[in-house]
Amino acid sequence: MSREFRGLLSNHGSCRAMFHSLVSAAGIAFTLAAAGCWPIENGQLPNDPLLVDNDGDGFAEEPGGELPGGDCDDNDPSANPSAPELCDGVDNDCNGETDELFDADEDGFLDEDACSELPDGTDCDDDDYQVNPGQNEICDDKDNDCDGESDEGFDTDGDGYASCAENEAGCDDMDAAVYPGAKEICDGIDNDCDGHVDENFIADNGTSECTDDDLDGYTEREGDCNDKDKDQSPGETEVCNNLDDNCNGAIDEGFDQDLDGYTTCEDDCDDTNPDINPGAPEVCDGVDNNCWGGADEIFQTDTDGDGTIDCMDCGPDDAAIFPGAQEICDGLDNDCNGVADEGFDADGDGYGDCEGQDCDDSRPDTYPGATENCDAIDNDCDGSVDEGFDQDGDGFTSCETVPDCDDTNA
């Protein structure tokens, strides 16, 4: 405060009271001058920095007077020691720094939210010094250069996800069908990057339907009925092994010739006979019907002790009669071949010349039970000749050399 002004205030109590009442008002010097409390020099008010408050913010430029000093810009009411710092390119709080509260990361760029009106108010993340318009874009899921895009230039496959994001998720940035959240498809690849491959396409055996696990050239989706066995696939030839080798839904087709439900690899010991298979009942016929490895195993009774079980012995009570016995001329089928005395029937009429059975083994029309003819021969071997052809009983028949010319009159 000037010496002259101090003198005026000290000599005039009214001037002193007026000064204190106007100390914070704009134009204080002019008001005091009009009241005779401020000297005018050469028609101008003296520029006393201890008192002048041009912007009326209550602060003078210099300290030591009636007004607090420190106003760094006495023409701007928003700049004084008690003003809040704003982001406006002005040292509002007069601390010697401009906009110091709006560069939190100290990267030289101001927060774009608070300082958008300033050229440097372009920091899109003022809490990260690696993010500002002067930075080069790197792959870190951030908009490093504040151009509104993150990780531009780092999406190799163009699927909308940068390589760093895909790598972090375990994805392949060389495949546009692979990215976090992609639809899982059946291709042997973890499309959605969740750590699982083809999780919606798992076969009953626990393998993926979309991969060729046994390397036979086929996947389950391509018809491989067992992708854990390279010998089972649509391209295989069916063999008899109780497996569906060619994956057509049938097992061992072509290996059940008699269609009894059993194949040769299922121990059908005779695949030409539907009555012979592991499920057939055993019957007494000299055949292994149930394919157990033995014939007639449940029929072991041999009454006559000839070594042939009764059900196979055509003479179970006669030890001389059994399959394979020597045929003798006795009117019996000794060897059980269904024919009696074969080899002893010269005329082939079914009766051998054994024990007087065939009374003439040279004539096929003469044997026991044959029809008697009028031929002077005992055709039926009953000891009588031409019986039934002597109606009048005179001892002569109509078929003799000298025939009975009237067989009705004795």
Q: Dihedral sign for Cα 74, 47, 52, 3, please.
A: positive
**Terminal Cα distance for the chain, rounded:** 202
| pLDDT digits (tens), the chain, 410 positions | 444 444 444 444 444 444 444 443 444 444 554 555 545 444 444 555 556 788 888 888 887 667 888 889 889 898 899 999 888 889 888 999 888 888 888 888 888 888 888 887 788 888 889 999 988 888 888 888 898 888 887 877 888 787 777 777 778 777 887 888 788 888 878 888 888 887 777 777 777 777 888 888 888 888 888 888 999 999 999 999 999 999 999 999 989 999 999 998 888 999 999 999 999 998 888 899 999 988 888 788 888 998 888 888 888 999 999 999 998 888 889 999 998 888 888 888 878 777 667 888 889 999 888 998 888 888 989 888 888 887 777 777 777 767 767 777 76
pTM of the model: 0.34
Domain positions in the chain are 344-410
Name residue 202's beta-bridge partners. Answer: 208
